[in-house]
Amino acid sequence: MSLQTYQGVVYPWHCDHMGHMNVMHYVGKFDEATWVFFSSIGLGGKIMRDNKKGMVAVEQTIKYKRELMPGDIITIHSELVEHTDKSIKFRHEMRNNETGDIAATTVLTGLYFDRLARKAISLPDAVKNHLQSLLG
């Protein structure tokens, strides 16, 4: 099951000398979608700040499929791939709204992290239950 986690526009300042959106902005938009995804599963920013917890990225793979140009409207949908006691693996798909083309995909793995102890810890049971429900 996928969830829309981002919608926005490609501005000229997102683009490089080639005239298309630069790779650093794909990563930035995927990052914004990541935090919306985390919030949707019970790992919102306030909860993590208040409890001195966080998520740390340990792996990311990006596939670039189509160029994005200034003025393109994009949407990112996200879905859970798998989870363990301490980690979440998820996928984002970025599409050009006008053409429907997939512009890029990324698969990320993050660890739930105790910011004081500086180590990975078990995800809260409520989050694991929610993640399990997403897998069916």
pTM: 0.95
Please give the Cα distance from 128 to 133 (Å, whole number): 9
- Domains located in the chain, CATH noted: 3-135 (3.10.129.10)
From the list 4, 106, 23, 24, the residue with the least C-alpha distance to 57 is 106
Q: Reduced to 3 states, what is the DSSP secondary structure of residue 17? A: coil
- pLDDT over 70, % of the chain: 100
Q: What is the pLDDT of residue 136?
A: 75
Q: What is the pLDDT of residue 91?
A: 98
Q: What is the pLDDT of residue 45?
A: 94
User: Where does residue 102 rank: exposed (0-12), middle (13-18), buried (19+ CB within 10 A)?
Assistant: middle
Q: What is the pLDDT of residue 11?
A: 98
Instruction: Convert the pLDDT of each residue in 66-113 to its tens digit.
Output: 999 999 999 999 999 999 999 999 999 999 999 999 999 999 999 999
Instruction: Strands of the chain (E only): list them.
Output: 3-9, 53-64, 73-83, 87-96, 102-114, 119-120
Q: Report how many helices (DSSP H) and strands (DSSP E) the chain contains, helices first.
A: 3, 6
